[in-house]
Amino acid sequence: MQTTDGFRTTLRLLALCGWVFLALGCSGDPSSPDSPGEQPVAGNSILATDPSDGSTGIPLAKTIRVTCEEDILLDDTTGITLTVDSGTIPVSVAAEGNNLLIDPDPLLERNSTYTVTISAGAVRGMNEETSFSFTTIVSNGILSTDPADGAADVPLAKTIAITCEEDVLTGDTAGVALTGDSGTVPVSITTMGNTFFIDPDPLLEQNLNYTVTVPAGAIQGVGQTVSFSFTTVVVNSVLSTDPADEAVDIPVTKTIAIICEEEVVLGDPAGVTLTGISGDVPVSIAAEGNRLLIDPDPLLEKNRVYTATVPAGAIRGFDEEVSFSFTTVQIQFAELTGVVVSDVANSSIGRSDTSNNISVSESGIVHVVWKVPDVMVNPPGAQDGVYYARSTDGGASFEPSVRVRDAQGLPTGVGNRIDPEIALSGADNVLIAYPTAQGRMEVVRSTDSGASWEVPLIIGEAGTLSEQKHITADGEYVYVSSNDGDFPIADSVDNGGNTFLRSTDTGASFQSPVTGLMGYPLHTLVVNPLNRDVYIIGTEPTGVNEPTPVYYTRSTDHGATFEPAVNSGETITHAGYCFDRSGRIVIVGRTGTLLIGDMNTDVWTKTEVIGTSSKPLQSTMAVDGDNTIYRVGTGNDNQVHVTCSVDGGLSFVDEAVDSGSYPNAASSVNMSGVAMVYSRAGVIYYAYRRP
């Protein structure tokens, strides 16, 4: 226990302390800086600011934070300000430990620079003014792109532009890409106001698709990837037209072409027209490389002026209309009789109906093929073989013959008559077909209108083809048909069916044979001039001269496939066949019966209007460019007769031409009249008649 003296001593000390406190001005207020409940702050300094000084892309809802070394005591919050160009921004200020929090109200504005100022004395221990600045995010949107997504015909020197809602500030542009069909294109990036520019270097390429990709962040404030595509312009111009403007003697089968500098890309071809004296001609339009093809359907008329018009925009890159005119050909030979064709003894045309030994080209060259002798022998003679000659003066004379194949390996024997046939493909290709003794087919070709000949092309499998064959051509397509199986003997026929061979390259090569089509060896091979359908037409194999049903099989895809055989419902003796210009099969039997099958309606009609009959295996048919129908045959008077109809077969006029046998006839779509060849005493003769 404390003593009395000790207690008195304590009281004296307490009293002394009270006087000391009063003397020092210590009131004992706990809020006073010198209150014994809180120690004074000697100093405080800033460790970091968020945002940092000079930073960009700051969110608009940002609470500004200042981090100090010591806990923060606020003395004068009015000394803490947030300013922008437009003035001071209202803020609320709070201290959380060593963090000073400055909260703007309202939100900050985008793309603006703000300055935070902390005056001396605003925060206890900070004796100097402190400030730092930052720039808010550019929250931006895309208004448009130039070119627009999916745009076409974009100029090759195009500077690509992306227009934004606000002025553009670039971010990380490393991922900006312009990609074309051939890879990435180097670009440079610039900005101006609210537009972001992408400048390709080198220039863009024409008629290519390009894609622009601008990743998120490349433009500040654009938070998603921007991607769009466009196609560049086709810069094109006409080099030439075929036919040329004001050209004459153009074949009526002509496919009109416009040849351009660049590849042709169709724009709107609806306005392309081909106009003749009777109005617009139906045409089909196609692009093939650097050519625009205008294909008339049906054939043009002879000796007519036509105008082709291709409006601006029909071909991409064409800014002006193209128009040119031309005149079609009309071939008219002088009427002739008995012009000598062959110059080798024992020449023979052959002994089958519609054996194509003569053809007339679109330019008017007459081509003839024959054989020496009539029946091949073994061993062959020195002059034996397949011969060819041509006339370039309208049949007035024929050039010296060319033996395109010797007789070695050709069929021999009384019943084996090889009957070579000829066909024309295009302006200059001449093709001759004949069977071999091994039961195969050979085709020999000239690509210069008969001036020179290639090595024969052997097609088919040995033992599968016989001498009953035909060849015809339709542009780049060449067709050959033959009987299947072995060669027939006298007074009988094989009935294994028909074999069909096709070339799609003007006879340079042939595809694998199609066998067993109809089984009617007494047949012919024709093409419908209206739609280019291929027909094999034949009669039942009786082997004798009596009426039998007419069958046909048709291909609507250039001989790639054939439909099942169709029975026409009509009968006729084996005959001559052709197509007229209106899409009708015209058949004349040996007794003069006329049978017409309209392939547009599948209606067949039969009349007896042709009075002149023909001897067996001595009849052929042709149609000229005026749709005049001709039947050429040998009558019982041993004269070659030509009968013609100018009214579609309603009536015929007959004329005896010359003595002879086994006549063949041909015409051209450019020609008025019929050319014919016939045999007499081992010589081949030529004649020409107009209606």
Neighbours of 600 (CB within 10 A): 11
CATH 2.60.40.1220 fits domain 46-136 = yes
- Mean pLDDT for the stretch of residues 24-34: 39
pLDDT tens-digit map of 39-81: 455 689 999 999 999 998 888 888 999 999 999 999 999 999 9
pLDDT tens-digit map of 296-344: 987 788 889 999 999 998 988 888 899 999 999 888 899 999 999 999 9
pLDDT value, residue 576: 85
Determine the residue type at 165: E
pLDDT value, residue 4: 38
pLDDT value, residue 496: 56
- Mean pLDDT for the stretch of residues 592-609: 91
- Mean pLDDT for the stretch of residues 653-662: 94
Buried b (16+ CB within 10 A) or exposed e, 650-675: eebeeeebeebbbbbbbbbbbbbbbb
Asked if pLDDT for residue 6 goes beyond 70, the answer is no
- Mean pLDDT for the stretch of residues 393-401: 96
Buried b (16+ CB within 10 A) or exposed e, 465-484: bbbbbbbbbbeebbbbbbbb
Say which residue, 28 or 220, is predicted with more confidence: 220
Mean pLDDT of the chain, nearest integer: 87
pTM of the predicted structure, to 2 decimals: 0.64
Break the chain into its structural domains and give their ranges: 46-136, 142-232, 238-328, 336-689
CA atoms within 13 A on the CB side of 47: 10
Q: What is the CATH number of domain 142-232?
A: 2.60.40.1220
CATH 2.120.10.10 fits domain 336-689 = yes
- Mean pLDDT for the stretch of residues 565-585: 90
Q: What CATH class has 238-328? A: mainly beta
Return the structure tokens found at 115. 């300055």
Asked if pLDDT for residue 134 goes beyond 50, the answer is yes
Residue 19's pLDDT band (boundaries 50, 70, 90)? very low
7 by DSSP, 3-state: which? helix
| CATH fold match for the domains 46-136 and 336-689 | no
What's 488-523 look like in SS3?
Answer: CCCCCCCCCCEEEEEECCCCCCCCCCECCCCCCCEE
Residue 544's pLDDT band (boundaries 50, 70, 90)? low
Q: How far apart are the first and last CA of the chain?
A: 165
pLDDT tens-digit map of 411-468: 887 556 678 999 998 778 999 999 888 888 999 999 999 999 999 999 877 777 776 7
Asked if pLDDT for residue 26 goes beyond 50, the answer is no
Cα(450)–Cα(431) distance, rounded to whole angstroms? 9
Q: Which of 437, 595, 422, 575 is nearest to 507 (CA)?
A: 422
